[in-house]
Homo-oligomer: A and B are copies of this chain.
């Protein structure tokens, strides 16, 4: 299914950049879950502003409206539908997008897929705006997880080759995670964050953009989550993460680093931590055989540079076959990575919640 994700609940996302609204439906949620609108709006604000939080006046966050499924502040157990109206669409002339293949964008592939019927204004269904419904759902999941002692921590791991430093995300406590979430530029090292920021600003002044890596850790997850073969924890999370525009790579634990390791290095030795089974290292990123093993689930995603750049680029008009030179107009994020952090974090939370809702599948 194209627009559904989840097994123990189902999340649907709808909308286009210039349609009446964007939003989602979450079905099969248990009844009685608290819907904390303040937490949801706070997380939406993190996605909405990104680096602009540093450089410009804070933009109004997206304001979601609940259409159904919430009563007295709690889920009813029937579909929770919500919408974020698209209010300030510019009356710009978007007709160029109907036929010009912006490099790195989905104009051409979308044209073929939808036969030219798709809404191309502002990127349509491919717009980064469509991650807002993911964040809505992710915020709901995060609040729920935190009440169970599970925390999703995410940071900018690198931008343009500059690496963050500091402790492991897996070692952060709830307060440190909260502090990280509050940063407009969420790195553990403020010094490194500053350098990343400067590098992004330099790209901007060159009419260019930069990519990066986001790291996330799910702390406090119990062992036993995952449904091999095709419902491996990695599989379900991967399905979700690759739905996020600009994500082009994903690795768990040591990830691609495994390729140069020997088994004796790569294997995580088990030990007893009081009554708990733990591993001394966490190269497997908290997952063995597709199932969580009690260690934090740690993963990283590669985020490509924003394809919207103001430098002139060569391309074609895919309706006529003519060559074109293109300058993408408008204000663009020189680096989408900071705004993607709450999206990735929300995806991790959604995946963890989905598995936890499945309960223990053991016949007692």
Q: How many residues of A contact B (CB 8 A)?
A: 156
Report how many copies the assembly holds: 4
**Which chain B residue shows the least CB distance to A17?**
B68
Asked if A83 is at the interface of the complex by the 8 Å CB criterion, the answer is: yes
Asked if A65 is at the interface of the complex by the 8 Å CB criterion, the answer is: yes
Contact A262 B209 (CB under 8 A): yes
Contact A115 B256 (CB under 8 A): no
Contact B248 A254 (CB under 8 A): yes
A292 to B249, CA, bound (A): 16
Closest Cβ–Cβ distance, residue A63 to chain B (whole Å): 14
Q: Which of B81, B238, B268 contacts A250 (CB 8 A)?
A: B238
Asked if A327 is at the interface of the complex by the 8 Å CB criterion, the answer is: no
Contact B258 A305 (CB under 8 A): yes
Digitize A288-303: 1 where CB-to-B-CB distance is under 8 Å, 0 elsewhere.
Answer: 1111111000000011
Contact B32 A363 (CB under 8 A): yes
Binds B, one of A36-44, A104-112, A170-178, A182-190: A104-112
Residues of B within 8 A of A65 (CB): 20
Contact A27 B15 (CB under 8 A): no
Known: A19-B67, A30-B363, A104-B284. A109 touches B292 (CB 8 A): yes
Residues of B within 8 A of A203 (CB): 262-263
Asked if A154 is at the interface of the complex by the 8 Å CB criterion, the answer is: no
Asked if A259 is at the interface of the complex by the 8 Å CB criterion, the answer is: yes
**Which chain B residue shows the least CB distance to A119?**
B71
Asked if A56 is at the interface of the complex by the 8 Å CB criterion, the answer is: no
Asked if A58 is at the interface of the complex by the 8 Å CB criterion, the answer is: no
Closest Cβ–Cβ distance, residue A24 to chain B (whole Å): 8
Contact B12 A261 (CB under 8 A): no
Known: A12-B27, A28-B3. A242 touches B78 (CB 8 A): no
**Which chain B residue shows the least CB distance to A106?**
B289
Closest Cβ–Cβ distance, residue A307 to chain B (whole Å): 5
Digitize A182-213: 1 where CB-to-B-CB distance is under 8 Å, 0 elsewhere.
Answer: 00000000000000000000010010111111
Q: Which of B112, B161, B242 contacts A291 (CB 8 A)?
A: B112
**Which chain B residue shows the least CB distance to A213?**
B259
A245 to B252, CA, bound (A): 13
Specify which of A211, A236, A270, A303 lies most central, judged by the most chain B CB atoms within 10 Å of its CB.
Answer: A270
Please, could you name 9 A-B residue pairs with CB atoms under 8 Å apart, sorted by A? Answer: A1-B227, A19-B69, A103-B279, A113-B226, A211-B266, A238-B238, A266-B304, A267-B305, A269-B314
